[in-house]
Amino acid sequence: MSKPQGVWTNEDTALILIDYQKEMFEGVASETPADVIDLNVRLLIKAAKAFGMPIVLSTVGVEMGVNGTTRQSILDELPGVVPIDRSSMNAWEDEAFLAAVKATGKKRLIFAALWTEICLVFPVVDALKDGYDVSYVVDAVGGLSQLAHRTAIDRLAHAGAVPNTSLALVTELFRDWAGPLGDQAREIITPYLGEVKALAAA
């Protein structure tokens, strides 16, 4: 059962992005289409940057020659951010990744990853065990099947992580149109909603 966590703020939170690579996008077969996942991940990145939140980015199997690097549309939002490449399915078991998370100094982590049932579930469960508060962004992730994705979502919720959606999370982080982050939020959300409409019409 989830412990009470209250609303999330930008001050105490880091964004953790795992395995947004070509091969993983191609395998997505759950409810949120790959192009919508891409859009929502980019929204999360833009919000984290605008709101001063640290970002940790990881890939799997690039140095081994198994997979390509992070999708270019996502990398374009992260100039200067170098992905932490791993061989492990569970990013939490990678020393460099774990060190990067700890270096953020944040105890509340927002996770998004491909695929839901593997590269999202494993590190989230371990982060919870290690005392972090964790939220995961349901419409910025996807699995190899709808059953695999939904089972993973259920597992995460039972473990105590908090589900959210991308736009709802962004509004939770800045909170008030008249507040200090309102202008930055408007600059992010207005074009995002335009992209959402364009995808829906395509």
The Cα 23–Cα 20 span in angstroms is 9
Structure tokens at 158: 């039972």
Cα separations in angstroms, 94 against 66, 70, 88, 89, 131: 17, 18, 7, 9, 18
Q: Are 85 and 60 in contact (CB under 8 A)?
A: yes
Q: Is 119 a catalytic residue?
A: yes
Choosing from 14, 17, 53, 119, which is the catalytic residue?
Answer: 119
Whole-angstrom Cα distance, residue 127 to residue 130? 5
What is the C-alpha separation between 111 and 137, in angstroms, rounded? 7
Among all residues, which ones are annotated catalytic? 119
